[in-house]
Structure 1
Amino acid sequence: MQHSSVFALDDTRYQTLITIVHDMLTRFDQRNNPAGESYVKRLDEIRKMELETRSFEEIKERMKAGLIEKMHAVFDSMVSDALNDIC
């Protein structure tokens, strides 16, 4: 959704959504009694992380590279299937 041109996530909407998620995770913690770290604690840790511009660009490039590799694999599979059908 975040890559859609019609999707916008301003600070107010983000805070609203993160509050909803926090409330849901609190309920999960109460109901599920996680054996490890609580869901709320993990969310809080994630929210404390900062993403530097350089890190963001590196992640974006790795995602693009992975997508391109997957596209090549699908294309190779399609070509192989087509050749098998012809032969």
Structure 2
Amino acid sequence: MRHFTWNPQKRSTHTGTHEPSEELTRVALSKPVETEDGVLPAGSMGTVVGVYRCGAAYEVEFAKPFHTVATVMPDAIRHTRA
């Protein structure tokens, strides 16, 4: 898996469409995401705690399977119901 480091000076090359998320939105991962603390599996649920460049990336806090905060690209999350 590729480790993603967010660089706010670099322009996003994301050209697909996604449903924008706001802070405190509940989301689930649509694919695994590698973090400094380990790999979060697809389906892990978290809360958006930061939005970068109008939705180019999101800072998401996860409690399970372990507590971590990860920068996640929009194609890796989907909205969930609380």
TM-score by length of 2: 0.24
More helix by share: 1
TM-score by length of 1: 0.23
User: Relative contact order (C-alpha < 8 Å, sep 6+): which is higher?
Assistant: 2
Q: Looking at CA atoms only, which structure, 1 or 2, has the larger radius of gyration? A: 1
More strand by share: 2
